[in-house]
Amino acid sequence: MAPTPTIDHELDSANPHPIPPLHLRCLDLAHKGSGIFFQHTSSPQAVLSLAASNVLRLLYPPDSPSPPPPVRSITLHLHAFDGVAYTCGSDLDNDHKEVHLSLSYLEGVADRAHGDGDGGDDRVRHEIEGVLTHELVHAFQYDGRGTVPGGVIEGVADWLRGEAGLAPPHWRDEPGEDDKWDAGYERTGFFFAFLSRHLSNPLLVPQLNAALRHSTWNDGEHLRKLLGGKDVEALWEVYRRTVGSKGEEEGEAPAPVPTHGPRSGYGVQY
């Protein structure tokens, strides 16, 4: 049995925002993935609470111009489906959020982690925490009243997953030859992290999120303002050159793991 996860009280105390009630529904206790989940999260409440606290702490830091949306509850649904995970509003209303995590995916993660000797139990636990953190970003982020491109939405979620120290080992910051800055997931997440460093503004992503509380995307108007009027495509080329030169020094990176699962929501495949 895995040790009971403990909440990092230093991080928790740094989050001034209340965590909504957390619920769990397991729709198939007989599935192998259910056993894997409970083996590696012997306190699901602690794992979900820490993930929610980290999302709120990083996305809505002190003096944030915008409060988090009024999420009234979060229910984690464990069941088997193709893909990894997705987040949506409940049938009751959109203020009650549901995070759906695939038991089939967890089974595959565990098989590979133990079969390939790739981290074993620690690797499985790290992946569960990382995916849940990514999905909880979707529960708390603003989307410009539904106008923000999906790649930006997913990029913010993976930016935060990385900031929380939960990046999986298959992530690579060097983009492919044809990748765009808003391709989404870790590709865009790494770019947001670069922009924050390059512009000496660690609050760039939280500020962008806050600006989208009441405003639409409008072709990236608020992002351009945060970039000081600099062209995002030009900065993308600077980023490509920067990580490309680093890659030459470190040697060729392994081929990236395929992304974009068949379901809406998180699509990175471990």
For 186-233, the pLDDT digits (tens) are 999 999 999 999 999 999 999 999 999 999 999 999 999 999 999 999
Q: What is the pTM of this model?
A: 0.87
Q: Distance of alpha carbon 242 from its chain centroid, rounded? A: 24
Residue 112 lies in a domain: yes
Instruction: List pLDDT tens digits, range 70-99.
Output: 999 999 999 999 999 999 999 999 999 999
Residue 74 lies in a domain: yes
Domain that holds residue 200: 9-250
Residue 199 lies in a domain: yes
Task: Give the chain's domain count.
Answer: 1
Residue 145 lies in a domain: yes
Residue 3 lies in a domain: no
User: Do the Cβ atoms of 177 and 248 come closer than 8 Å?
Assistant: no
Residue 32 lies in a domain: yes
User: Is the pLDDT reported for residue 268 higher than 50?
Assistant: no
Residue 61 sits at the vertex; the CA angle it makes with 21 and 160, to the nearest 5 degrees, is 75
Residue 21 lies in a domain: yes
Helices and strands counted in the chain (H then E): 10, 4
Q: What is the dihedral angle through the alpha carbons of 108, 113, 114, 118, rounded to the nearest 10 degrees? A: 160
- Pair type for strands 96-102 and 73-79: parallel
Instruction: List pLDDT tens digits, range 18-53.
Output: 999 999 999 999 999 999 999 999 899 999 999 999
Residue 168 lies in a domain: yes
